[in-house]
Amino acid sequence: MSKTNPPLKFEQTMLELEGIVAALEHGDLTLDEALKQFEKGITLVRESQTKLDLAQQKITILMQNNQDPIPMDPGADT
């Protein structure tokens, strides 16, 4: 019986990855624990990469839809 957890926000994922890296670097985990943490870290990295890819696609679409230059200072052209 496996529970599925709701996806973490990107920032939460990064914090969890930092914790996993710290635990692995500290070296106090058993081999089994280290392997489980490594596997969890790989899963989180893949999820994060997917989120980043989707964000990049959205940015690309927005930039393509808005070809007009955006003025840095709205009052500069008056």
**What domain range is 49 assigned to?**
10-54
- For the chain, the maximum distance between any two Cα atoms, rounded to a whole number of angstroms, is 68
Name the pTM for this structure. 0.69
Residue 71 lies in a domain: no
Residue 48 lies in a domain: yes
Residue 39 lies in a domain: yes
In the numeric block, which tokens belong to residue 25?
């670097």
pLDDT in 10s for each residue of the chain, 78 residues:
446 666 779 999 999 999 999 999 999 999 999 999 999 999 999 999 999 999 999 998 888 877 766 666 756 555
Look at the chain and report how many structural domains it folds into. Answer: 1
Q: How far is CA 18 from CA 3, 15, 32, 45, in A?
A: 23, 5, 19, 11
Say how many C-beta atoms besides its own lie within 10 A of residue 65's C-beta: 8
Residue 64 lies in a domain: no
